[in-house]
Amino acid sequence: MVFTATYNSPVGTIVIESDGEALTGLRFGEGKLSLRFGASSIEKALHSSPIRTTATLPIFDEVTRWLDDYFAGKQTENAAMGTKTDGRITVQPKGTLFQQRVWQALVTIPYGKTVSYGELARMVGCKSAQAVGQAVGANPIALFIPCHRVIAANNQLGGYAYGQEIKKRLLNIEQL
C-alpha cells in the first residue's frame, strides 16, 4: 500500500509517498505525477480517502522535520538508500539497476555543491552523460536524492523535472 501526505513548502506543494516504513516518493506539486496519472487524477488523489495525514506514520513526521530544516536553510544530511541504520531517513526508490546506481551517486553530492552531468557519468562509470541525465530525470524522490544539484557542463542550470525556477530556488536555499 502507498501512503501519501502533502507538505506546503516555500516552492509549492510537495507530495510525499511511503510504503509505511521508507520514503518511496517525493514530488513537487503535480510535477511527474501529472505525467504519470494526469492532473485530474492527482486532484482526486489529493482529496480522497487513501491520503494519510502526517500524524499517521512516523516516516511522515521525520520527512516533515527534514523538510522544515531544509527550507529553513539548515544544512541537511542526504538520505540513506537502503536499510535504516543511523537514524537518517531511508529512501527506497524503484527503478532499474542503472537508475539505482545513478541515484546512489546523487546522494553523495554534498549539500551546497553541484556536479555536471558529465562528472556524474564518470562517477557511475558511464560514457553517456545523456543516459545519466535520463536517470537523473527519472528520480522519484526529489530533494532526498538531490537531482537538483546536477547542472550542465557550462554551469547553466540544465533541465529539471519540476522546472528551472524551482531548481534555481532550491540551489539558492543551499546558497549556491
**Is residue 117 within 8 Å of residue 152, measured between CB atoms?**
yes
Sign of the C-alpha dihedral computed for residues 145, 26, 20 and 8 taken in this order = positive
Q: Which domain holds residue 41?
A: 3-81
Q: Do the domain assignments include residue 165?
A: yes
Structural domain includes residue 141: yes
CA angle 138, 83, 35 (to 5 degrees): 20
Give me Rg for the CA atoms of the chain.
16
For 38: left if phi > 0, alpha if psi spans -120 to 50, otherwise beta; the answer is left
pTM flag (> 0.85): no
Q: Which of 115, 121, 147, 161 is catalytic?
A: 147
CATH number of residue 143's parent domain: 1.10.10.10
The answer to whether position 88 is within a domain reads no
Tens digits of pLDDT across the chain (176 residues): 889 999 999 999 999 999 988 999 999 985 443 333 333 333 444 444 334 444 478 999 999 999 999 999 887 776 666 545 455 788 899 999 999 999 999 999 999 999 999 999 999 999 999 999 999 999 999 999 999 999 998 888 888 999 999 999 999 999 85
Q: Are 168 and 100 in a shared domain?
A: yes
Q: Tell me which residue of 100, 68, 65 sits closest to 82, measured CA to CA.
A: 100
Active site residue 147: yes
The contacts of residue 38 (CB under 8 Å, 6+ apart) are: none
In a domain, 86, yes or no: no
